[in-house]
Structure 1
Amino acid sequence: MNKGRYVFSQLCDFLPTDHFKWLVKKYEGNKYVKSFTCWNHLMVLLFGQLSNREGLRDLIVTISPFKSAFHHLGFGKNVSRSNLSKANEIREIKIFQEFADKMVSIAREKRGVVKDFFISNNVYAFDSSTISLCLSVYWWTKLHHGKGGVKLHELYDVKTDIPTFSVITDASVHDSQVMELIPYEKESFYIFDRAYMATNKLYIIEEAEAYFVVREKHKMSFEVIEDKEYNNPSSGIMADQIIRFKGHKTKKQYPNKLRRVVFYDYDGNRTFVFYTNNFEVTAEQVALLYKYRWRVELFFKWLKQHLRIKEFYGTSENAVKIQIYAAIIAYCLVVIVQECMDLKLQTYDVLRILSTALLTKMPLCDLLIEQKEEEFTEGKYQQLCLNFDG
């Protein structure tokens, strides 16, 4: 069936094209467009992501020899630096943002729960990563420690290893400001580092009947309501208390009771203090939940290493944001292919194989299914790597 088709074209069969067409119609993305439609634009961006092209020139040079196949690849009649650059500047961001949301939804559904987890609740880790940009080129970025840049804020589903909610802001925006934008789910856990120790934002989670685990940023003033006198050196738990904030501001912002867990990390010789509004899980489970926050940092590392979000195909805010959403779409596409074909390879290994074969003509199943997992051990995306750094 796929004999004679490019690998890239076969990959794109996994995209929900009807939904993309609906978004284009919704935002009138092709209005006044004679050539290089929104679909053509997406295809070129995805090719750039999956093949890890380093810039606009590199991308155009790579695909130019295949001009006769542009139609079959979904690129349209012609792709040039000028029309791609213009599309990046003017095209509606929401088309790509909402399509990324759709891809996330499909990827989560396909993957399901990756492995058995110690609690049945959904568990999400939230963090941000700054993408530094040169102020003289990306003039619209605001200063952050004397540098320009944007921040990608990501809500990451720990159980499925899928990013579920993304926000792009200036690098100058404080992490905690984005907390109120998160779509909190009842009885789900949300794991935060100390940058998110904002009592007024944490109370939003409390009111949503969801749970949080957050690391203490600085010593808080509180009264102990109940001290469980829990001291288990073998597990690292030094204290498990029910407390209430005493500070005038913190007490007003978070009037309810909280749980305070003190954990000693023997490997790193460090003490951590966690706050949570869940009183059911054990103290050890509170510490373990925080360990899983590392998953979102691994995702950022993976994204920056293996997809293209450090060098951009345009200098405007529009171009940068579209490319970041294209990277998320590409990541989800690889996950969807991985799950639909029941591949035993790691996500990075699938991408590595695909990146070298996009412009070859062979059935996708022949390319991927015959590969053995043990052949791809170096540089794996370590999904189970847990530590307390950060």
Structure 2
Amino acid sequence: MKPARSELTSFRQLIEQIPGHLTKKLAKKHGVDIQARTFSPWSHTVSLCYAQFAHSLSLNDICDGLGNHGVELKKIRGATPPSKNGLSHANRNRNPAMAEDLFWEVLSHLRKKSPGFAGKNYGGFPRRFKKTINVLDSSTFQLVANCMDWAKHRRRKAAAKLHLNLDLQSFLPTIALVDKAKDNDAVRARELCANIKPGEIVIADKAYIDYEHLYELDQRDVSWVMRAKDNMSYDIIEEFEFTSDTGVQLDCIIQLKNTYSQDKYPEHMRLVQAYVEVKGETKLMTFFSNNFDWAPTSIIDLYKSRWAIEVFFKQIKQTLQLGDFFGHSANAIKWQMWTALLVYVLLRYMAFIAEWNYSFKRAYTMVRAILWSKIDVYKTMINCGTANAPPLIKSVPHQAYLPGFI
């Protein structure tokens, strides 16, 4: 099926989902407008979004790509192509809090515009739970150690880390933190859980275990499920009966044994031990929770649903430009990571309204191929895959296929 034509380039259709007043408002809020003389905050935002959509490899790649389409770029609310030095200076010196606020403002705007905006529910979501399920995790992005002292976390390595609270139902982040990788994940747990409401559920790996924080969540009427550390010391208070054919090996109430840990978490906990299949292998895993009403299989299923966040990180790492960074400073890294998340949301929203039935990666590669073409992205997504494919030629081993010969 032929793609539907449009008067606007595909890039313009996507980028103009950002409300026109937002960049000016946020630039003023964060003092970026004072620093911007010839290269406006809007042009800066458009340039970095283009770098993500086009998967640009360097500053030169961004500048050349936008410079070669200067006429069409100008039509995007007056955006101008950057110079290499101008873009580098903006990434290094402008406050990345503007990019962070822009991401959250755009996400909020799109949700108000389409209240059902949530994409497709994650396939592993345990649907018997009606409350919001928050999954906590982080992902590390390797950097160049000899250029980035601020991000060093080992002798010869440097990395930035993205901490995330992912709403499992919508498969969209509710809180994201960009920081250096050397800090322990548990340090960020409170910030990631700051906006969680009573009755909601938190799931996290053992890296986020902080007994004092878990007790605070319990007092806020927030249910949580964690994977236990191997050296967790506890006394069994009471054991429950269970069905062994579900893989459950132990279901009990425990009390932390260590005095220091007891001071942090004085209440009893629920502990479930079970065999769980992980990447084709069956492993014995131990989980603990503050909920005493759920079936042991529910606790296991909740923790298994945590793997959704790994799918999210895989989506952004395998598609967006988060492998090659355009600057060495903390500000430059944060600008790039926040605009990457912004592009993710813009494309997810377009896929949502078009009822896209394919992967995020396919949506990304399709858009990248038509970025400067005047093709209607929405209609192209709707029609994608509807045309009948040409018949495939079935090859016969050791026989060449030569058109026109019998």
Judge same fold: TM > 0.5, yes or no.
yes
CA deviation string 1:157-192 (max 9, x = no partner): 111111221111211101111101122221111111
Q: Does 1:301 align with 2:308?
A: no
Alignment match, 2:104? 101
1:139 is aligned with what amino acid?
Answer: D
Aligned-partner residue type, residue 57 of structure 2:
E
The equivalent of 2:348 in structure 1 is 335
Secondary structure in 2 matching 1:169: strand
Q: Which of residues 284, 287, 292 is equivalent to 1:279?
A: 292
Q: How far does residue 264 in structure 1 lie from its aligned partner after superposition?
A: 0.9
Alignment of 1:215-294 (within 5 A): 215-230=227-242, 232-265=243-276, 268-294=281-307
Q: 1:375 to 1:21 in 2, by over 3 A?
A: farther
1:40 equivalent in structure 2? 43
Distance in 1 (alpha carbons) for counterparts of 2:298 and 2:77: 49
Check whether the contact 2:140–2:161 (CA below 8 A) recurs between aligned residues: yes
Matched ranges for 1:208-219 at <5 A: 208-219=220-231
Amino acid in the other structure paired with 1:335: R
Which residue number in structure 2 is paired with residue 159 of structure 1?
169
Instruction: Report the equivalent of 1:88.
Output: 91
Query: How many residues are aligned here?
Result: 375
CA distance in 2 between partners of 1:216 and 1:284 (Å)? 16
How big is the shift at 1:322? Answer: 0.8
Question: Which moves more between the two structures, 71-80 or 182-191?
Answer: 71-80
Find out whether 1:198 has 2:198 as its counterpart.
Answer: no
> How many Å apart are 1:113 and its aligned residue?
7.8
Distance in 1 separating the partners of 2:5 and 2:24: 24
1:106: Cα distance to partner?
A: 4.6
* Structure 1 pair 73–283 and aligned structure 2 pair: CA distance change class (3 A): same
Q: Residues of 2 paired with 1:291 and 1:13: CA distance? A: 38
Give how far 1:145 is off: 5.9
Q: Determine whether 1:142 maps to 2:148.
A: no
Tell me the secondary structure at the aligned position of residue 159 of structure 1. Answer: coil
The counterpart of 1:185, out of the listed 193, 197, 200, is: 197
**Residues 281 and 207 of structure 1, relative CA distance in 2, 3 Å threshold:** same
5 Å matches for 1:9-158? 9-74=12-77, 76-106=79-109, 109-112=115-118, 114-115=120-121, 117-144=127-154, 146-158=156-168
Of all paired residues, the percent bearing the same amino acid is 25
SS of the residue 1:186 aligns to = coil
Question: TM-score of the superposition, structure 2-length normalised?
Answer: 0.86
Local SS of the residue matching 2:370:
coil
Q: Report which stretch shifted further, 367-376 or 293-302.
A: 367-376
* Contact 1:36–1:77 (Cα < 8 Å) also in 2: yes
SS of the residue corresponding to residue 179 of structure 1 reads helix
Q: Aligned partner of 2:136: which letter?
A: F
| Structure label with greater radius of gyration | 2
Which shifted more, 8-17 or 350-359? 8-17
Distance (Å, rounded) in 2 between the aligned partners of 1:259 and 1:36: 57
Aligned-residue offset at 1:4: 2.4
In structure 1, the residue matched to 2:402 is none
Using structure 1 for the length normalisation, give the TM-score: 0.90
> 3-state SS of the aligned residue for 1:281?
coil
Separation (CA, whole Å) in 2 of partners of 1:121 and 1:197: 22
1:104/1:162 contact within 8 Å kept: no
Cα contact 2:145–2:156 (8 A) shared by 1: no
Q: Give the match's secondary structure for 2:327.
A: coil
Write out per-residue CA displacement over residues 68-105 of structure 1, whole angstroms, 9 at most, x where no aligned residue: 33311457334111111111011111111111122343
Q: Deviations over 1:17-49 (max 9, x none)?
A: 333332222223212522221111111111110
Asked if 2 retains the 8 angstrom alpha-carbon contact of 1:2 and 1:10, the reply is no
* Aligned-residue CA RMSD (Å): 2.3
**How far apart, in 2, do the equivalents of 1:308 and 1:47 lie?**
10
Structure 2 distance, partners of 1:67, 1:206, is: 56
Q: Deviations over 1:83-139 (max 9, x none)?
A: 111110111111111111223435564424844812101111111111111121223
Q: What secondary structure, in the 3-state scheme, does the structure 2 residue paired with 1:45 have?
A: helix
> Take 1:190 and 1:145, find their aligned partners in 2: how far apart are those partners?
34
Letter of the 1:334 partner, please give it. L
Structure 1 residues 19 and 66: alpha-carbon distance in aligned structure 2, compared to 1, 3 A threshold:
closer
Sort the Cα spacing of 1:79 and 1:112 in 2 relative to 1 into closer, same or farther, 3 A.
closer
Is the Cα contact below 8 Å between 1:222 and 1:243 reproduced in 2? yes
Q: Structure 1's 359 and 64: CA in aligned 2 closer, same or farther, altered over 3 A?
A: same
1:290 Cα offset (Å) = 0.6
Aligned position for 1:381: none
Q: Does 1:355 align with 2:358?
A: no
| CA–CA distance in structure 2, aligned partners of residues 333 and 25 of structure 1 | 23
Question: Contact 1:180/1:201 (CA < 8 Å) preserved in 2?
Answer: yes
**Pick aligned residue for 2:180 from 170, 178, 202:** 170
